[in-house]
Amino acid sequence: MSQFPTHPNAPADRGQCKAIDPVRKIALIDGHWQPRVVAEMNDYQFKVVKVIGEFQWHRHADTDETFIVLEGELRIDFRDATTGDGAILLRAGEMAVVPKGIEHKPFAETEAKLLLIEPRGVVNTGDGEAGDRTVANDQWI
């Protein structure tokens, strides 16, 4: 039995001790910007998502967020009073960590497939008010 509590929707194995094909899992998702959990490690979740167009500006005050591009390209724009504004472009096989507290907005000109790594319970739209892009946590696929 795991020392880490699981959500009632999580499979008993939490995606552990088995092969997971993230791209195949993404193919099961109907819409864009709808992250789904595929595995957990300690209190971190691995989420897959397909994206197109732009997301909304948001930040996560208490945690970093990792983006790994599996297919396509993803631009992440940044706004930060201390370090200034900027952007990075990630291509398939590349990753980036957005530090906690940094306001960011992902954008994909054409469909991109991503793997996200973040602590369990992180809201995809960050610390702001919930909106039409806010997705319920702990949705497994």
Q: Which residue has the tokens 């995809």?
A: 124
pLDDT at 7: 62
Predicted TM-score (pTM) above 0.85: yes
Is 5's pLDDT higher than 60? no
Is the domain spanning 22-119 CATH 3.90.1150.10? The answer is no
Which 3-state string (H, E, C) describes the chain?
CCCCCCCCCCCCCCCCCCCCCHHHHHCCCCCCCCCEEEEEECCEEEEEEEEEEECCCECCCCCCEEEEEEECEEEEEEECCCCCCEEEEEECCCEEEECCCCEEEEEEEEEEEEEEEEECCCCCCCCCCCCCCCCCCCCEC
The tens digit of pLDDT for each residue in 93-131 reads 999 999 999 999 999 999 999 999 999 999 999 997 888
pLDDT at 123: 93
The tens digit of pLDDT for each residue in 57-95 reads 999 999 999 999 999 999 999 998 777 899 999 999 999
Instruction: Provide, rounded to the nearest whole percent, the portion of the chain with pLDDT above 70.
Output: 94
Whole-angstrom distance, CA of residue 75 vs CA of residue 89: 4
